[in-house]
């Protein structure tokens, strides 16, 4: 009885969503960490780089961003003529909240000869003080591109920054921020899980605390990459077991790409609570009522956009 009520409710929501997205010319973008029920209804699911590109070229009047606040802000910066909606206002990000625009401006003033590279997981205010953005997919490329003759300061993720520093050998200044989820994936945690699954290919997101540790980086079983890169490697590699060191939402698309492989979470719960606020119900309600609009003011958007455009021009 309960199941049938749930099914009917789900069906009604899906029908309403189909009608709403058609009449309102809405595009639904979702991050890999979103709930499976949300990923299923999105027009595009991807990582930050892919989502930025989709937002920039969106042919729609409304973008519903099934992710967290800084992602919706990025969409608003790139698509100023569109209404960007966030299914739940409380969807924040511990990493993006780790630095404010004012803090970056003060830090920058103490390093006047440095070039600021910011991970895209930052607020619009921070992007406005940034010289070039990057994502985990293009961070190495962006930093190498701009390091020629310049000194780099990197915000806000010390784990991703340490990984870039170790891989490129560049002496960058790092802001001391971290994602509360990936920061739990320390060297000790990753190694303990690897010992439990000695045959597994180990896919590690560079936001993880252990990603820059020599004993992790140099282990031949380990592959460090963005979420999109991790999914591609999962499908490509010969191993049947995959130890996944990132937020567990990525398992949904990864399992679709590799239906016969065994996916193992790094921890029993590897979940970002902020990414789970978008449910089928909140997505439909926000589009129906056009609520929770995230709009970056024009002047701020213009300043923040320069750093995103520089990134998109690189790759
Ligand atoms: S997983 Fe971490 S970086 Fe991603 S949205 Fe959640 S808190 Fe932010």
For position 189, which CATH number holds?
3.40.50.10800
d(CA 233, CA 224): 10
pLDDT confidence tier of residue 7, bands split at 50, 70 and 90? confident
Q: Are residues 57 and 19 in the same domain?
A: yes
Model pLDDT for residues 120-145, shown as the tens digit of each residue? 999 999 999 999 999 999 999 999 99
- Nearest CA-CA partner of 279 in 13, 5, 79: 13
Q: Are residues 137 and 201 in the same domain?
A: no
With a pLDDT cut of 90, the percent of the chain lying above it is 91
Model pLDDT for residues 215-229, shown as the tens digit of each residue? 999 999 999 999 999
In this structure, what token pair is assigned to residue 10?
Answer: 């789900």
Query: Has residue 204 been placed in a domain?
Result: yes
CB half-sphere exposure, 164, CA atoms < 13 A: 33
Q: Are residues 83 and 146 in the same domain?
A: no
Q: Is the predicted pLDDT of residue 315 greater than 80, yes or no?
A: no
Query: Has residue 301 been placed in a domain?
Result: no
Model pLDDT for residues 237-287, shown as the tens digit of each residue? 999 999 999 999 999 999 999 999 999 999 998 999 999 999 999 999 999
Query: Has residue 158 been placed in a domain?
Result: yes
d(CA 265, CA 249): 10
Nearest CA to ligand 1 atom 3: 179
Q: Are residues 44 and 81 in the same domain?
A: yes
Distance of CA 223 to the CA centre of its chain: 18
How close is the Cα of 145 to the center of ligand 1, in Å? 26
How close is the Cα of 193 to the center of ligand 1, in Å? 22
Nearest CA to ligand 1 atom 2: 179
Q: Are residues 188 and 262 in the same domain?
A: yes
d(CA 4, CA 118): 48
In this structure, what token pair is assigned to residue 262?
Answer: 């065994």
Q: Are residues 163 and 188 in the same domain?
A: no
Query: Has residue 307 been placed in a domain?
Result: no
Q: Is any ligand 1 atom within 6 A of the Cβ of residue 68?
A: yes
By residue range, what is the domain housing residue 70?
2-91+275-295
Give the count of domains, the chain.
3
Query: Has residue 154 been placed in a domain?
Result: yes
Q: Are residues 255 and 196 in the same domain?
A: yes
């Amino acid at each position: 009885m309960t199941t049938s009520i749930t099914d009917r409710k789900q069906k009604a929501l899906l029908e309403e969503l189909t009608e709403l997205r058609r009449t309102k010319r809405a595009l639904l973008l979702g991050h890999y960490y979103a709930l499976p029920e949300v990923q299923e209804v999105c027009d595009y699911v991807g990582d930050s780089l892919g989502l930025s590109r989709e937002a920039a070229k969106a042919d729609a009047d409304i973008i519903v961003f099934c992710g967290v606040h800084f992602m919706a802000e990025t969409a608003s910066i790139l698509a100023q003529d569109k209404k960007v909606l966030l299914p739940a206002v409380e969807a924040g990000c511990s990493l993006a909240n780790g630095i404010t625009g004012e803090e970056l401006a003060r830090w920058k003033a103490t390093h006047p000869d440095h070039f600021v590279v910011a991970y895209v997981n930052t607020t619009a205010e921070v992007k406005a003080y940034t010289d070039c953005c990057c994502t985990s997919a293009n961070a190495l490329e962006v930093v190498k591109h701009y390091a020629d003759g310049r000194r780099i300061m990197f915000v806000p993720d010390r784990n991703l920054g340490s990984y870039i520093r170790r891989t490129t050998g560049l002496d960058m200044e790092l802001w001391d921020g971290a994602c509360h989820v990936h920061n739990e994936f320390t060297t000790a945690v990753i190694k303990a899980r690897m010992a439990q699954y000695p045959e597994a290919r180990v896919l590690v997101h560079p936001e993880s605390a252990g990603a820059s540790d020599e004993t992790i980086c140099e282990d031949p079983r380990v592959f460090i990459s963005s979420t999109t890169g991790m999914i591609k490697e999962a499908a490509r590699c010969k191993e049947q077991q995959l130890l996944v060191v990132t937020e567990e939402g990525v398992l949904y698309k990864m399992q679709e790409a590799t239906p016969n492989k065994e996916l193992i979470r790094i921890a029993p719960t590897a979940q970002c609570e902020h990414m789970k606020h978008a449910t089928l119900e909140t997505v439909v309600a926000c589009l129906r009522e056009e609520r929770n609009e995230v709009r970056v003011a024009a002047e701020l958007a213009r300043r923040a956009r320069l750093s995103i455009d520089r990134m998109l021009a690189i790759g």
